[in-house]
Amino acid sequence: MLFSTVIFLSFSCISAKLPHYIKPCARSNPNFNECALKHANENIKELVKVGQETEVNGTYILENIGGKSFLKTVKPQARLTSKRMYLRFENLFNGNKLLEDQMNKFLDANWKDVYEELTEPGTEVMLEILISIINKIHMIAPFEEMFPEKLP
């Protein structure tokens, strides 16, 4: 099943072992997808605390382990956006202050291009770490316990 921000779908679950900020969504809720996505987007702020917008999309599968179904996130994608990035480098060009100032002005004027070049590799690393954590959380409890048919 494909959901926007599905990576964090799993954080809308029930388990005593999960963090306090996770809110449950009943699978029987006719608006289950909306509930799960809403809570997942709220929880991303607890996992990724940066001064930028983070959007994560992906798919998940149910993996049978020992006769029980567990969620596994696959094919994740992430996009980071920022309103502004500030750069200031010092001691460049063997202490040549004029060249250093010009480089800092150039980087400041072209911050969007620099941001895009720097965030792509960082996003991939962040996504790998995040998916690793999420898939470990998925293994805490089977799907049926994380997403019960009805809430108590």
25: confidence class by pLDDT, cuts 50, 70, 90:
confident
Nearest by Cα to 135 from 45, 87, 71: 71
pTM for this entry: 0.49
CB 66 within 8 A of CB 139: no
- pLDDT at position 65: 92
Mean pLDDT of 103-108: 92
C-alpha span between 104 and 90 (Å, rounded): 9
**pLDDT winner (highest mean) among 70-84, 102-116, 130-144:** 102-116
In the chain, domain spans: 2-146
Structure tokens of 13?
């679950």
Cα distance between residue 62 and residue 70, in whole Å:
5
Torsion of CA 75, 3, 147, 69, to 10 degrees: -30
pLDDT attached to residue 16: 39
